[in-house]
Amino acid sequence: MKEPFRFVLFYYLIFYLLIFQLPIFGKESESLRIGFGSCLHQDKESPILNQWEKESFDLILLLGDNIYADSLVAEEKIPAYQKQFVRPQWKKIRATSQILATWDDHDYGINDSGSEYVDKEKSREVFISQVGALMPKGRRLGTKDGKGIFHSYFLDFKKKKIHIVIPDTRFFRSELKPSFWSFFTGKKHYRPNENLDATLLGEEQWKWLTEELEKPSDFLVFVSGIQVIPTEQPFEKWGNFPKEREKLFQLLGSAKTSDLVILSGDRHIAEIYEYPIEDKRKFIEITSSSLNFPLPFLTLEYDSRFKLTPAFLEENYGVLRIQIKEGKLVWRAEIKDKIGNVVREYGNNDSN
Protein backbone atom coordinates (compact mmCIF):
# COMPACT_ATOMS: atom_id res chain seq x y z
CA MET A 1 0.00 0.00 0.00
CA LYS A 2 1.34 3.43 -0.95
CA GLU A 3 2.22 5.75 1.93
CA PRO A 4 -0.51 8.42 1.31
CA PHE A 5 -3.21 5.72 1.25
CA ARG A 6 -1.87 4.20 4.47
CA PHE A 7 -2.01 7.68 6.04
CA VAL A 8 -5.61 8.30 4.90
CA LEU A 9 -6.73 4.83 6.02
CA PHE A 10 -5.19 5.32 9.45
CA TYR A 11 -6.97 8.63 10.06
CA TYR A 12 -10.22 7.25 8.60
CA LEU A 13 -10.05 4.43 11.14
CA ILE A 14 -9.44 6.83 14.03
CA PHE A 15 -12.33 8.99 12.78
CA TYR A 16 -14.61 5.91 12.54
CA LEU A 17 -13.73 4.77 16.06
CA LEU A 18 -14.35 8.20 17.52
CA ILE A 19 -17.67 8.72 15.76
CA PHE A 20 -19.17 5.25 15.84
CA GLN A 21 -17.40 3.24 18.50
CA LEU A 22 -17.16 5.60 21.45
CA PRO A 23 -20.90 6.04 21.86
CA ILE A 24 -21.17 2.26 21.90
CA PHE A 25 -18.57 2.05 24.67
CA GLY A 26 -20.52 4.77 26.40
CA LYS A 27 -23.71 2.77 26.13
CA GLU A 28 -21.94 -0.31 27.43
CA SER A 29 -20.99 1.55 30.59
CA GLU A 30 -24.59 2.43 31.37
CA SER A 31 -25.97 0.39 34.19
CA LEU A 32 -29.28 -0.64 35.64
CA ARG A 33 -29.37 0.36 39.28
CA ILE A 34 -31.60 -1.32 41.84
CA GLY A 35 -31.77 0.05 45.38
CA PHE A 36 -32.93 -2.14 48.25
CA GLY A 37 -33.40 -2.05 51.99
CA SER A 38 -35.58 -3.09 54.90
CA CYS A 39 -36.74 -2.17 58.39
CA LEU A 40 -37.90 1.41 58.00
CA HIS A 41 -39.56 2.77 61.12
CA GLN A 42 -42.24 5.35 60.37
CA ASP A 43 -41.60 7.28 63.60
CA LYS A 44 -37.84 7.68 63.10
CA GLU A 45 -35.96 10.11 60.92
CA SER A 46 -34.61 8.62 57.75
CA PRO A 47 -31.59 10.29 56.13
CA ILE A 48 -31.45 7.36 53.72
CA LEU A 49 -34.65 8.52 52.03
CA ASN A 50 -32.84 11.78 51.22
CA GLN A 51 -30.05 9.65 49.80
CA TRP A 52 -32.53 7.65 47.70
CA GLU A 53 -33.82 10.91 46.20
CA LYS A 54 -30.28 11.57 44.93
CA GLU A 55 -29.60 8.01 43.81
CA SER A 56 -32.46 8.00 41.27
CA PHE A 57 -32.57 4.20 41.14
CA ASP A 58 -34.32 2.48 38.26
CA LEU A 59 -36.02 0.22 40.75
CA ILE A 60 -36.32 0.04 44.54
CA LEU A 61 -37.00 -3.21 46.39
CA LEU A 62 -38.50 -2.85 49.86
CA LEU A 63 -37.63 -6.07 51.64
CA GLY A 64 -40.10 -5.88 54.51
CA ASP A 65 -40.70 -4.24 57.86
CA ASN A 66 -41.62 -1.23 55.80
CA ILE A 67 -43.47 -0.02 58.90
CA TYR A 68 -43.44 -1.06 62.56
CA ALA A 69 -47.05 -1.46 63.62
CA ASP A 70 -47.49 -4.77 65.43
CA SER A 71 -51.17 -5.35 66.03
CA LEU A 72 -53.64 -8.21 66.11
CA VAL A 73 -56.01 -5.88 64.24
CA ALA A 74 -54.60 -5.26 60.77
CA GLU A 75 -56.58 -2.07 60.18
CA GLU A 76 -54.63 -0.46 63.00
CA LYS A 77 -51.57 -0.58 60.73
CA ILE A 78 -53.03 1.93 58.29
CA PRO A 79 -51.94 5.11 60.15
CA ALA A 80 -48.36 3.81 60.26
CA TYR A 81 -48.37 3.19 56.49
CA GLN A 82 -49.81 6.65 55.94
CA LYS A 83 -47.16 8.22 58.14
CA GLN A 84 -44.43 6.33 56.34
CA PHE A 85 -45.42 7.15 52.78
CA VAL A 86 -46.51 10.73 53.34
CA ARG A 87 -42.87 11.66 53.90
CA PRO A 88 -42.06 14.23 51.20
CA GLN A 89 -39.03 12.26 49.93
CA TRP A 90 -41.26 9.50 48.57
CA LYS A 91 -42.77 11.85 46.01
CA LYS A 92 -39.43 12.41 44.30
CA ILE A 93 -38.31 8.82 44.80
CA ARG A 94 -41.50 7.52 43.18
CA ALA A 95 -41.08 9.93 40.26
CA THR A 96 -37.75 8.36 39.31
CA SER A 97 -37.85 4.81 40.66
CA GLN A 98 -40.24 1.91 40.25
CA ILE A 99 -41.05 0.26 43.57
CA LEU A 100 -41.60 -3.40 44.36
CA ALA A 101 -42.15 -4.57 47.92
CA THR A 102 -42.82 -7.43 50.24
CA TRP A 103 -43.63 -7.53 53.92
CA ASP A 104 -41.97 -8.97 56.98
CA ASP A 105 -43.41 -9.61 60.43
CA HIS A 106 -43.93 -6.04 61.67
CA ASP A 107 -45.91 -4.93 58.63
CA TYR A 108 -47.61 -8.32 58.14
CA GLY A 109 -48.78 -9.00 61.69
CA ILE A 110 -46.92 -9.08 64.97
CA ASN A 111 -43.31 -9.90 65.86
CA ASP A 112 -42.14 -13.16 64.22
CA SER A 113 -45.69 -14.09 63.15
CA GLY A 114 -46.60 -16.60 60.44
CA SER A 115 -49.78 -18.32 59.24
CA GLU A 116 -51.19 -18.28 62.77
CA TYR A 117 -51.62 -14.49 62.64
CA VAL A 118 -55.34 -13.98 63.15
CA ASP A 119 -55.96 -11.00 60.85
CA LYS A 120 -53.83 -12.03 57.88
CA GLU A 121 -56.53 -11.69 55.20
CA LYS A 122 -57.27 -8.14 56.31
CA SER A 123 -53.54 -7.41 56.55
CA ARG A 124 -53.18 -8.47 52.92
CA GLU A 125 -55.93 -6.02 51.95
CA VAL A 126 -54.23 -3.26 53.91
CA PHE A 127 -50.85 -4.04 52.30
CA ILE A 128 -52.36 -3.99 48.81
CA SER A 129 -54.13 -0.69 49.42
CA GLN A 130 -51.17 1.03 51.09
CA VAL A 131 -48.06 -0.49 49.49
CA GLY A 132 -49.57 -2.08 46.38
CA ALA A 133 -50.54 1.44 45.37
CA LEU A 134 -46.82 2.30 45.06
CA MET A 135 -46.12 -0.63 42.76
CA PRO A 136 -46.77 -1.06 39.01
CA LYS A 137 -50.48 -1.39 38.36
CA GLY A 138 -52.35 -4.48 37.22
CA ARG A 139 -50.33 -7.00 39.18
CA ARG A 140 -51.75 -9.85 41.16
CA LEU A 141 -50.26 -10.48 44.57
CA GLY A 142 -50.58 -13.98 46.00
CA THR A 143 -53.03 -16.68 44.96
CA LYS A 144 -56.13 -16.26 42.80
CA ASP A 145 -58.31 -16.65 45.87
CA GLY A 146 -56.51 -13.95 47.82
CA LYS A 147 -53.82 -15.56 49.94
CA GLY A 148 -50.37 -14.10 50.44
CA ILE A 149 -48.58 -11.37 48.51
CA PHE A 150 -45.95 -13.26 46.46
CA HIS A 151 -45.23 -11.84 43.01
CA SER A 152 -42.61 -11.53 40.31
CA TYR A 153 -41.43 -9.06 37.72
CA PHE A 154 -39.39 -9.12 34.50
CA LEU A 155 -37.10 -6.27 33.49
CA ASP A 156 -35.58 -5.99 30.02
CA PHE A 157 -32.15 -4.41 30.06
CA LYS A 158 -30.09 -4.26 26.85
CA LYS A 159 -31.69 -7.44 25.53
CA LYS A 160 -31.11 -9.27 28.81
CA LYS A 161 -33.98 -10.51 30.94
CA ILE A 162 -33.82 -9.82 34.66
CA HIS A 163 -36.30 -11.78 36.73
CA ILE A 164 -37.25 -10.43 40.16
CA VAL A 165 -38.94 -13.09 42.30
CA ILE A 166 -40.52 -12.00 45.57
CA PRO A 167 -41.99 -14.81 47.70
CA ASP A 168 -44.10 -14.29 50.82
CA THR A 169 -42.35 -15.78 53.86
CA ARG A 170 -45.16 -14.90 56.32
CA PHE A 171 -48.69 -15.77 55.23
CA PHE A 172 -48.25 -19.55 54.88
CA ARG A 173 -45.44 -20.17 57.37
CA SER A 174 -45.76 -22.89 60.01
CA GLU A 175 -45.00 -22.23 63.66
CA LEU A 176 -41.49 -21.45 64.83
CA LYS A 177 -39.88 -23.75 67.38
CA PRO A 178 -38.40 -21.85 70.34
CA SER A 179 -34.86 -22.86 71.23
CA PHE A 180 -34.19 -24.65 74.51
CA TRP A 181 -32.51 -21.62 76.11
CA SER A 182 -35.28 -19.25 75.08
CA PHE A 183 -37.48 -20.77 77.80
CA PHE A 184 -35.00 -19.41 80.37
CA THR A 185 -33.89 -16.21 78.70
CA GLY A 186 -37.27 -15.14 77.27
CA LYS A 187 -35.45 -14.20 74.05
CA LYS A 188 -37.05 -14.89 70.68
CA HIS A 189 -34.54 -17.53 69.62
CA TYR A 190 -35.47 -20.50 67.47
CA ARG A 191 -34.35 -23.99 66.57
CA PRO A 192 -35.06 -25.86 63.33
CA ASN A 193 -38.61 -27.13 62.87
CA GLU A 194 -38.04 -30.66 61.57
CA ASN A 195 -41.72 -31.65 61.36
CA LEU A 196 -42.45 -33.33 58.06
CA ASP A 197 -45.33 -30.96 57.29
CA ALA A 198 -43.59 -27.78 58.49
CA THR A 199 -43.54 -25.23 55.69
CA LEU A 200 -42.31 -21.75 55.01
CA LEU A 201 -43.99 -21.05 51.68
CA GLY A 202 -46.94 -23.42 51.66
CA GLU A 203 -47.95 -25.76 48.86
CA GLU A 204 -49.58 -23.27 46.50
CA GLN A 205 -46.67 -20.85 46.75
CA TRP A 206 -44.11 -23.61 46.13
CA LYS A 207 -45.99 -24.50 42.95
CA TRP A 208 -45.86 -20.85 41.88
CA LEU A 209 -42.17 -20.57 42.74
CA THR A 210 -41.32 -23.75 40.84
CA GLU A 211 -43.06 -22.38 37.74
CA GLU A 212 -41.37 -18.99 38.14
CA LEU A 213 -37.90 -20.51 38.30
CA GLU A 214 -38.57 -22.47 35.13
CA LYS A 215 -38.98 -19.21 33.20
CA PRO A 216 -35.75 -18.40 31.33
CA SER A 217 -33.79 -15.32 32.39
CA ASP A 218 -30.26 -13.94 32.24
CA PHE A 219 -30.24 -12.88 35.87
CA LEU A 220 -32.47 -13.84 38.78
CA VAL A 221 -32.94 -11.59 41.79
CA PHE A 222 -34.46 -13.69 44.57
CA VAL A 223 -35.92 -11.51 47.31
CA SER A 224 -36.58 -12.78 50.83
CA GLY A 225 -37.67 -10.80 53.87
CA ILE A 226 -35.72 -13.18 56.10
CA GLN A 227 -32.19 -14.55 55.58
CA VAL A 228 -31.71 -17.62 53.41
CA ILE A 229 -28.12 -18.89 53.76
CA PRO A 230 -27.39 -18.46 57.51
CA THR A 231 -28.09 -21.40 59.82
CA GLU A 232 -26.40 -20.36 63.08
CA GLN A 233 -27.99 -17.06 63.94
CA PRO A 234 -30.84 -17.79 66.40
CA PHE A 235 -33.45 -15.44 64.90
CA GLU A 236 -35.82 -15.87 61.98
CA LYS A 237 -34.34 -17.47 58.85
CA TRP A 238 -35.02 -20.10 56.19
CA GLY A 239 -32.72 -22.29 58.28
CA ASN A 240 -35.53 -22.67 60.85
CA PHE A 241 -37.16 -24.87 58.19
CA PRO A 242 -34.22 -26.97 56.98
CA LYS A 243 -36.21 -29.02 54.47
CA GLU A 244 -37.69 -25.90 52.92
CA ARG A 245 -34.25 -24.26 52.71
CA GLU A 246 -32.82 -27.34 51.01
CA LYS A 247 -35.76 -27.45 48.61
CA LEU A 248 -35.16 -23.78 47.77
CA PHE A 249 -31.46 -24.41 47.11
CA GLN A 250 -32.36 -27.30 44.79
CA LEU A 251 -34.80 -25.09 42.90
CA LEU A 252 -32.42 -22.12 42.69
CA GLY A 253 -29.64 -24.46 41.56
CA SER A 254 -31.74 -25.72 38.67
CA ALA A 255 -33.40 -22.38 37.84
CA LYS A 256 -33.33 -21.49 34.15
CA THR A 257 -31.11 -18.48 34.64
CA SER A 258 -27.46 -17.69 33.93
CA ASP A 259 -26.77 -16.08 37.30
CA LEU A 260 -28.56 -15.12 40.47
CA VAL A 261 -28.34 -13.15 43.68
CA ILE A 262 -30.35 -13.39 46.89
CA LEU A 263 -31.40 -10.16 48.63
CA SER A 264 -32.68 -10.25 52.21
CA GLY A 265 -33.43 -7.98 55.16
CA ASP A 266 -34.79 -8.35 58.72
CA ARG A 267 -31.55 -8.55 60.68
CA HIS A 268 -30.92 -4.87 61.52
CA ILE A 269 -27.36 -5.35 60.33
CA ALA A 270 -25.88 -5.72 56.83
CA GLU A 271 -23.94 -8.80 55.76
CA ILE A 272 -22.75 -10.62 52.62
CA TYR A 273 -22.81 -14.42 52.41
CA GLU A 274 -21.54 -17.01 49.98
CA TYR A 275 -22.87 -20.58 49.83
CA PRO A 276 -20.97 -22.99 47.58
CA ILE A 277 -22.96 -25.38 45.42
CA GLU A 278 -21.78 -27.95 42.95
CA ASP A 279 -19.76 -27.21 39.79
CA LYS A 280 -17.85 -24.38 41.48
CA ARG A 281 -21.01 -22.27 41.45
CA LYS A 282 -22.21 -20.44 44.52
CA PHE A 283 -25.15 -18.51 45.84
CA ILE A 284 -24.49 -14.98 47.04
CA GLU A 285 -26.79 -13.34 49.58
CA ILE A 286 -26.74 -9.65 50.36
CA THR A 287 -28.56 -8.70 53.57
CA SER A 288 -29.38 -5.03 54.00
CA SER A 289 -31.06 -3.88 57.22
CA SER A 290 -31.96 -1.46 58.71
CA LEU A 291 -32.81 1.69 56.78
CA ASN A 292 -33.26 3.75 59.95
CA PHE A 293 -33.50 1.41 62.93
CA PRO A 294 -30.13 -0.26 63.60
CA LEU A 295 -29.86 -2.57 66.60
CA PRO A 296 -26.12 -2.62 67.26
CA PHE A 297 -26.49 -4.87 70.29
CA LEU A 298 -27.16 -7.71 67.83
CA THR A 299 -23.51 -7.67 66.97
CA LEU A 300 -22.51 -11.28 67.52
CA GLU A 301 -21.01 -12.62 64.32
CA TYR A 302 -22.74 -15.86 63.35
CA ASP A 303 -22.30 -18.10 60.32
CA SER A 304 -18.70 -17.06 59.74
CA ARG A 305 -18.07 -20.04 57.44
CA PHE A 306 -20.44 -18.51 54.87
CA LYS A 307 -19.81 -14.86 55.59
CA LEU A 308 -17.70 -12.81 53.19
CA THR A 309 -17.67 -9.59 55.19
CA PRO A 310 -18.10 -8.66 58.84
CA ALA A 311 -21.50 -7.21 59.68
CA PHE A 312 -22.11 -3.50 59.17
CA LEU A 313 -24.03 -2.20 62.18
CA GLU A 314 -25.30 1.24 61.22
CA GLU A 315 -28.19 2.40 59.03
CA ASN A 316 -27.67 1.06 55.52
CA TYR A 317 -29.12 0.34 52.10
CA GLY A 318 -28.10 -1.83 49.20
CA VAL A 319 -27.35 -1.07 45.56
CA LEU A 320 -27.35 -3.72 42.85
CA ARG A 321 -25.69 -2.41 39.69
CA ILE A 322 -26.12 -4.44 36.52
CA GLN A 323 -24.10 -3.85 33.37
CA ILE A 324 -23.58 -5.56 30.06
CA LYS A 325 -19.92 -5.93 29.13
CA GLU A 326 -18.94 -7.59 25.86
CA GLY A 327 -22.40 -9.10 25.69
CA LYS A 328 -22.18 -10.54 29.19
CA LEU A 329 -24.27 -9.49 32.16
CA VAL A 330 -22.13 -8.50 35.14
CA TRP A 331 -23.29 -7.19 38.48
CA ARG A 332 -21.99 -5.61 41.61
CA ALA A 333 -23.73 -5.24 44.95
CA GLU A 334 -22.86 -2.54 47.44
CA ILE A 335 -23.93 -1.78 50.98
CA LYS A 336 -23.97 1.96 51.59
CA ASP A 337 -24.21 3.91 54.81
CA LYS A 338 -26.71 6.69 55.44
CA ILE A 339 -24.69 9.27 53.53
CA GLY A 340 -24.01 7.03 50.56
CA ASN A 341 -20.50 5.76 51.32
CA VAL A 342 -19.83 2.22 50.15
CA VAL A 343 -19.08 0.17 53.29
CA ARG A 344 -19.31 -3.41 51.94
CA GLU A 345 -19.32 -4.72 48.37
CA TYR A 346 -19.35 -7.78 46.19
CA GLY A 347 -18.99 -8.20 42.42
CA ASN A 348 -19.61 -11.31 40.34
CA ASN A 349 -16.83 -10.30 38.02
CA ASP A 350 -13.45 -8.91 39.06
CA SER A 351 -13.33 -6.44 36.22
CA ASN A 352 -16.77 -5.07 37.09
Q: Which residues bind Fe ion (CB under 5 A)?
A: 39, 65
Q: Which one, 55 or 65, has the nearer CB to Fe ion?
A: 65
Q: Which one, 39 or 59, has the nearer CB to Fe ion?
A: 39
CA 239 from centroid of its chain's CA atoms: 18
Query: Rounded CA gap, 112 and 225, in Å?
Result: 12
CA dihedral 344, 325, 277, 347 (to 10 degrees): -10
Instruction: List the one residue out of 115, 12, 48 whose CA is nearest residue 291.
Output: 48
To Fe ion, the closest distance from the beta carbon of 68 in angstroms equals 7
To Fe ion, the closest distance from the beta carbon of 141 in angstroms equals 21
Q: Which one, 31 or 46, has the nearer CB to Fe ion?
A: 46
Query: Rounded CA gap, 25 and 317, in Å?
Result: 29
To Fe ion, the closest distance from the beta carbon of 291 in angstroms equals 9
Q: Which one, 81 or 153, has the nearer CB to Fe ion?
A: 81
Give the 3-state secondary structure percentages of the chain, helix then strand then coil, rounded to 5. Answer: 30, 25, 45
- DSSP at 159: T
To Fe ion, the closest distance from the beta carbon of 245 in angstroms equals 20
Q: Which region holds residue 297: left if phi is over 0, alpha if psi is between -120 and 50, else beta?
A: alpha
To Fe ion, the closest distance from the beta carbon of 44 in angstroms equals 12
To Fe ion, the closest distance from the beta carbon of 118 in angstroms equals 21
Instruction: List the one residue out of 149, 101, 158 whose CA is nearest residue 122.
Output: 149
Q: Which one, 219 or 293, has the nearer CB to Fe ion?
A: 293
To Fe ion, the closest distance from the beta carbon of 261 in angstroms equals 21
Q: For CA atoms 141, 143, 149, 155, give the dihedral sign.
A: negative
Query: Rounded CA gap, 76 and 70, in Å?
Result: 9
Q: Which one, 44 or 140, has the nearer CB to Fe ion?
A: 44
What's phi and psi for 151, nearest 5 deg?
-165, 170
To Fe ion, the closest distance from the beta carbon of 302 in angstroms equals 17
Q: Which one, 103 or 331, has the nearer CB to Fe ion?
A: 103
Q: Which one, 152 or 227, has the nearer CB to Fe ion?
A: 227
Instruction: Name the strand (E) or helix (H) holding 161.
Output: strand 160-166
What's phi and psi for 35, nearest 5 deg?
-95, 150
Task: Tell me the C-alpha to C-alpha distance, in Å, between residue 239 and each of 179, 183, 198, 325.
Answer: 13, 20, 12, 36
**Please, where are the H alpha helices in 97-226?**
105-108, 120-130, 182-185, 203-213
Q: Which residues pair with 110 in a beta bridge?
A: none
To Fe ion, the closest distance from the beta carbon of 155 in angstroms equals 27
To Fe ion, the closest distance from the beta carbon of 64 in angstroms equals 7
Q: Which one, 65 or 168, has the nearer CB to Fe ion?
A: 65
> Tell me, what amino acid is at 233?
Q
> Tell me, what amino acid is at 125?
E
Q: Which one, 39 or 101, has the nearer CB to Fe ion?
A: 39
